[in-house]
């Protein structure tokens, strides 16, 4: 796995984060997003509301942190033997996860409670790290590879732009066409 | 000019919208975004707070509507005699406006108070309409042209994605490279 810049130090601070994040996830499932409040989350997590406010500022910033954790990839992209196969499979899965209703909600939460842009930057770093793995593996096989920023512009950006601004047509065929475009006409 | 799907009907409704939007713009300049409240905006606009709540739901939705109005292009893209010149000039100006501090704030506002995605869709429609004008003019000159959705994916999407998720490197040279990419290697 790649390094995880979001990982927080261990000890009490890490335990508080874990219990508060868990409380948000459980309560979202039980009572829904609209009914969440800081006192409700704090009570479930066994901390005081002021602990939550001190650490996260407000509910929107807490939801943004939880969303970024949920958007963190679980594993490296699968090795299917070629750059084209690896990148196509990764792009299909990326689109599928991000365009799903929970994916859209997490992207929105990540952006909204993020005054300094750190969480949005982390979402982008997750995608770039996954692409780095695919490209490094292909280069190791002796394949010619585009650079990561080009793949971000040609595959990640259109998927995320359409999710946020221009929904519709977001299917696996679209992901495959984007990957074919960057591999066949790198520009 | 292209049709303006956001234009509202005339009469009292249009006057209320105009005075409330003007109040938001003036108060934002005078007291700053953080100090805005619905009662403050309503008082300046000469309407009751309930008029604002009834029409816009809450402050975030009102700010989203104001942002979309501010993101509406003022005029058609300039005719510089060729597709490459027109699209390059348009992309440079688009990046410059969107990546500016007010542009970023408007994009954020437009996305945040937009539960059904209509305002985000309108932002995207504005860009697509400008591209349509450039491409139709080039086709009229007999030039070969990519389609609008390809230009959205290759030029608009990377600019907007980087503004939201991956800031840095957003200069005129980046806009020019994106346009050169889509014209020289349409993919």
Domain check: are B141 and B80 in the same one? yes
* Weakest mean pLDDT among B56-60, B112-116, B128-132: B112-116
Q: Is B165 on the interface with A (CB under 8 A)?
A: yes
Domain check: are B142 and B92 in the same one? yes
SS3 A115: coil
CA of A183: which chain B residue's CA is closest?
Answer: B187
For A51, the domain range is 12-57
Smallest CA–CA separation between A15 and chain B, in Å? 29
SS3 B2: coil
Write out pLDDT tens, residues A65-101. 999 999 999 899 999 999 999 999 999 999 999 999 8
Smallest CA–CA separation between A11 and chain B, in Å? 31
Domain check: are A132 and A44 in the same one? no
Domain check: are A161 and A129 in the same one? yes
What distance in Å separates the CA atoms of residue A42 and residue B131, rounded to the nearest whole number?
Answer: 49
Specify if B154 maps to a domain.
Answer: yes
Crossing angle, helix B101-112 and helix B83-99, to 10 degrees? 80
Give ipTM to 2 decimals.
0.89
Domain check: are B86 and B157 in the same one? yes
Q: Do A154 and B154 touch (CB under 8 A)?
A: yes
Domain check: are A107 and A44 in the same one? no
What distance in Å separates the CA atoms of residue A149 and residue A132, rounded to the nearest whole number?
Answer: 10
What distance in Å separates the CA atoms of residue B165 and residue A116, rounded to the nearest whole number?
Answer: 11
Residue B104 φ/ψ, nearest 5 degrees: -60, -40
Q: What are the helix (H) ranges across B36-147?
A: 38-45, 49-56, 59-71, 83-99, 101-112, 118-140
Q: What CATH number is given to the structural domain containing A20?
A: 1.10.10.60
Write out pLDDT tens, residues A17-62. 999 999 999 999 999 988 999 999 999 999 999 999 999 999 999 9
Domain check: are A81 and A40 in the same one? no
Smallest CA–CA separation between B183 and chain A, in Å? 9
């Amino acid at each position: 796995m790649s390094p995880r810049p979001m990982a927080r130090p261990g000890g009490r601070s890490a335990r508080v984060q874990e219990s508060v994040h868990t409380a948000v996830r459980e309560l979202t499932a039980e009572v829904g997003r609209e009914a969440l409040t800081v006192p409700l989350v704090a009570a479930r997590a066994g901390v005081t509301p002021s602990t939550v406010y001190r650490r996260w500022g407000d509910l929107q910033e807490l939801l943004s942190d939880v969303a970024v954790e949920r958007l963190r990839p679980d594993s490296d992209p699968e090795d299917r033997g070629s750059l084209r196969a690896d990148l196509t499979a990764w792009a299909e899965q990326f689109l599928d996860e991000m365009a799903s209703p929970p994916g859209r909600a997490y992207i929105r939460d990540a952006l909204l409670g993020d005054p300094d842009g750190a969480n949005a930057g982390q979402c982008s770093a997750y995608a770039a790290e996954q692409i780095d793995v695919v490209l490094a593996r292909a280069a190791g096989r002796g394949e010619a590879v585009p650079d990561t920023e080009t793949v971000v512009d040609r595959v990640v950006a259109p998927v995320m732009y359409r999710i946020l601004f221009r929904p519709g047509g977001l299917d696996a065929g679209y992901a495959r066409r984007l990957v074919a475009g960057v591999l066949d006409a790198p520009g």
